[in-house]
Structure 1
Amino acid sequence: MLRKLLIGVAVIATLVAGVGTARLVLPTDPTPGVVKQLTYLRAEIEAGADHAAQQQFPEGYFFLNALYGLTWVQVGLADPSRAVDATREARWALDRLKSPDGTAVFDASLRPKYGVFHAGWTNWLRAGLIALKQSDAAEIDEFTSASVELATAFRTARTPYLQAYPGQAWPVDSTVAIASLSAYDELVAPRFGATTARWVAAVKTKLDPGTGLMPHQATPETTGARGSSQSIIQRFLVEIDPAFARAQYETFRDRFVTRLGVREYPKGVGGPGDVDSGPLILGLSLSATVVTLGAAVVQHDPLAGRLARQGELLGLPLTGLTTKRYAFGLMPIGDAFLAWSRSARPLVAAEQPELEGGSGWWRVPWLVVLWLPALLLWSLVRFRRSRRRH
């Protein structure tokens, strides 16, 4: 019985190693898997997952719906045959962002209305709808009026970082909003170039002196750069100023990216986890690592392939005929961030030059970890068989 049990465990270890090896080395097309994730997410949202997420994160409801719509936009741009479906689903998500539930936690007295976080991400989703080329005149008019409101708020502010909540401002939120204005100039008509240029010039004077990157928080006090916000900043900055974005991305990669993932604080600096970073493991933030995958894609960085494959290996994906979920589906908002990152693509920016660093040797330690238990178990089976014959 012990021998049979040992053989069974060895077989299981071999199957796990084989599946893991396939995920590390075989070529993949992320789109089918992302569409399955979206099918799963739609059902979860309809069952109330966005309201449940709101109990866990300050913008849980908003983010789950926004990322669902934005991921469909990226799927539709990657595969034009899905553009009609993508437009329908993105409109559904946009309606939820504008609903009373979508605006409930934001302050309508701010300028822009509901604050730059809500206004910026919502306007970015509007830009995605226009990019799908299925929009009507009313949607273009709405995109125009919302963009004018954003641009006016930036022009009249004394800082490049607008408030998301009364008395609180995070540079990442203003980055998303300015990216939506750059998208308007490319998708509709040149109009906000001067506003964007002034914003970039102002940002360059307010970089974190410790890292040379944009700070994590600007109001009520300025704090140093952190991985959870930098990963999103690097995703959007390329849509605004590609040259500045590449310089910022290379600095971010040097200061925050490790072989195992993305740190919440710069290398050599420690700090606690919070609602933005999630729990930290050896200083690494899972949320920052997942979102950096998307930033690496838009920066044409081979790091994207490594992060995607490690995610497939460690994310415990469960794939059915029509759905796919990670971590056993325990955190739908985590699936939303991952789907958005796996399907990442620039909305209006040109493809960036490829960064160096495409060696595949990073796979070797993972392959050793995968196959060593199976090899040890089969060696033990063989040893016991030999001993029995002796």
Structure 2
Amino acid sequence: MFPEGHFFLHVLYGLTWVELGMRAPVGERFAALREARWALEELDSPTGRAPFSAELTPPYGVFHRGWSNWLRGGVLSLQPAGQRDAGEERQFARDSAELGAAFDASSSPYLESYPGQAWPVDSTVAIASLRLHDLLLPDRFGRTVQRWLREVQERLDPNTGLLPHRVDPGTGQPTEVARGTSQSLIQRFLIDVDPAFAASQYSRFSNRYITSPLGLGPTVREYPYGMEGPADIDSGPLPLGVSLPASVVTIGTAQVHGDARLAAALAGVSELAGVPIDTPWTKRYALGLLPVGDAFLAWSKTARPWVAKVPSPPPTSAVSAWWRVPLLSLLMLCSAAPWLPALVWRHRRRHA
């Protein structure tokens, strides 16, 4: 359905296994390592690289290289220091160096994902992978990250004060307003780049994009309050301005920012709107028609920071503690509706 579908499905699968492996004792991580390594091989396969250009800097672009490097660092994170696979460690160091050199040589903080096209979210993932490198291996990219942060803060979207959705690849200046589909991912990774900057960005995102259409539970707008725009393949359809993919990804975003109330509310809404089908062995959302949606949900529900610490809960959440009341009231009315004719008939008979 979209060019990165194969890549995204496999990288999310691998990252979710890394998350599960991190929760297991060191001696019980074999399955997580096996599956995450298999996913990483798929990213580097001809099929995984097919949508991307080898002529970019770095080769195959920052989308492919950033996500791949993040997963590669996750694979190393599952291995105790001193017992890591030497080849994987060298590859992670080489790929990180290539990304760091590309950022250092660029006049824009946002590298190209495709020829002539740059999205800030892709560079945010790549920069987070450099921070992960400096956590696992000797510190090397501190200056690169600090320069990136300074240049990003000079090029924020003037409408929202957030990282924009799309930028001019030569200058890094915004060409499209911040949007929910990319913000949900940016906020997920930005905390591992700079927790203080991430906290201020998350607050802006929550205030401008979290909504409760018809009062029936929190979701995420694709465009900020007061602005409408077209849907695309990333956002999906936009009923009442809401992006379902952004709402799913924000489950994980809220978790890494310590906003447990919003994460739980979004997960609750997904259990209703996602139309899940359970079997004794599986659970599939959207009637099993969009496996990448299941992958995003699994990755979101296992989210936590890899470099930073989980922050304290924010003083106020974007969702009320009473968010369930309107939704449950509507569900109760729907459940009672089939019985109303019988109740009316019984009442009339008794009255007669």
Output the TM-score relative to the length of structure 1: 0.83
**1:281 matched residue in structure 2:** 239
**2:63 matched residue in structure 1:** 117
Whether 1:89 and 2:50 are equivalent positions in the alignment is: no
**1:40 matched residue in structure 2:** none
Bigger drift between 98-107 and 274-283 goes to: 274-283
Q: Give the root-mean-square deviation of aligned CA atoms.
A: 1.6
Find the aligned partners of 1:146 and 1:204 in 2 and give their Cα distance.
26
Offset of residue 59 of structure 1: 0.6
**1:71 matched residue in structure 2:** 16
Whether 1:241 and 2:194 are equivalent positions in the alignment is: yes
Whether 1:335 and 2:284 are equivalent positions in the alignment is: no
**2:204 matched residue in structure 1:** 251
Find the aligned partners of 1:92 and 1:199 in 2 and give their Cα distance.
32
**1:324 matched residue in structure 2:** 283
> Quick one: which amino acid aligns to residue 219 of structure 1?
D
On the 8 A contact 1:215/1:222 being kept in 2, the answer is yes
Find the aligned partners of 1:89 and 1:113 in 2 and give their Cα distance.
25
Offset of residue 276 of structure 1: 1.9
Offset of residue 130 of structure 1: 1.2
In percent, how many aligned pairs have the same letter? 55
Q: How many residues align?
A: 335
**1:299 matched residue in structure 2:** 257
> Quick one: which amino acid aligns to residue 265 of structure 1?
Y
Q: Helix, strand or coil: the match of 1:222?
A: strand
Q: Which runs of 5+ in 2 are unaligned?
A: 213-217
Find the aligned partners of 1:162 and 1:216 in 2 and give their Cα distance.
13
Matches within 5 A, 1:308-323: 308-323=267-282
Determine which structure has greater relative contact order: mean sequence separation of CA pairs < 8 Å that are 6+ residues apart, divided by chain length: 1
Find the aligned partners of 1:167 and 1:78 in 2 and give their Cα distance.
40
Whether 1:133 and 2:92 are equivalent positions in the alignment is: no
* Larger helix proportion of the pair: 1
For residues 36-94 of structure 1, give each alpha carbon's deviation from its aligned partner in whole angstroms, at most 9, with x where no partner exists: xxxxxxxxxxxxxxxxxxxx012111101111101111111133375221111000000
C-alpha distance 386-256 of structure 1, shift in aligned 2 (>3 A): closer
C-alpha distance 336-82 of structure 1, shift in aligned 2 (>3 A): farther
Output the TM-score relative to the length of structure 2: 0.91
**Structure 1 moving runs of 4+ over 6 Å:** none
Find the aligned partners of 2:325 and 2:105 in 1 and give their Cα distance.
54
**1:184 matched residue in structure 2:** 133
Bigger drift between 236-245 and 267-276 goes to: 267-276
Q: Which runs of 5+ in 1 are unaligned?
A: 1-55
**2:121 matched residue in structure 1:** 172
**1:144 matched residue in structure 2:** 93
For residues 280-314 of structure 1, give each alpha carbon's deviation from its aligned partner in whole angstroms, at most 9, with x where no partner exists: 11111111111111111100112111101111122
> Quick one: which amino acid aligns to residue 159 of structure 1?
S
**1:232 matched residue in structure 2:** 185
C-alpha distance 60-82 of structure 1, shift in aligned 2 (>3 A): farther
Offset of residue 158 of structure 1: 0.7
